[in-house]
Amino acid sequence: MLKDRLVKTVDKLLAFLTVLISCLLVVCVCWQVFSRYVLGTPSTFTDELARFLFIWVGLIGAAYTTGKQRHLAIDLLTMKLQGRRKAFSQLVIQIAIAVFCALVMVYGGGGLMLRTLQTGQVSPALGVQMGYVYLAIPFSGVMMIFYSIVFGYEKLQVLFAPAKNIESTKHHSNVLDKN
């Protein structure tokens, strides 16, 4: 199915970016320690680069975690629900996530990125436009909205499924909750 292939592709892209940036971060920090303590001349750019890489890996990792539904959640109420009530509760949660990401991360973060690019603010050590650093905010917001739409659509299918399908979904959901 097209939706499943698209989700897998986004999953792989975010996983690849997270691993790549994490590896770059490790190399950057190792070089920083080596240059400071072994060579005696600390690298001037590694502190700033490590900070920017950490921002990117944190936000992209958050989007990836959202896609795997492994993010931090308080689900006491949702765990006690079954069938359509559980699906409705999960749908409301997905809508809240999408609204938050749209307003705060995409609109707010995108506005911050654009304003920073317009002012031409650059980082002192690397000389990189700070707007590119802030691009991580709307990018991860868009990825989280993508996952919220996918998961929300799945919950809508459960809500509007015939009653006999809900019983099998209820059993499937309980099996998943135990794992």
pLDDT in tens, 27-62: 999 999 999 999 999 888 999 999 999 999 999 999
Q: Which two tokens stand for residue 41?
A: 């001349």
Strands, E assignment, 39-178: none
Which pLDDT value is given to residue 168?
Answer: 52
**What's the rounded Cα separation, in Å, for the pair 3 and 131?**
32
pTM for the model: 0.86
What pLDDT, in 10s, does the model give residues 132-148?
A: 999 999 999 999 999 99
Rounded distance between C-alpha atoms, residue 81 and residue 94, angstroms: 16
The radius of gyration of the chain from alpha carbons, rounded to an integer in Å, stands at: 21
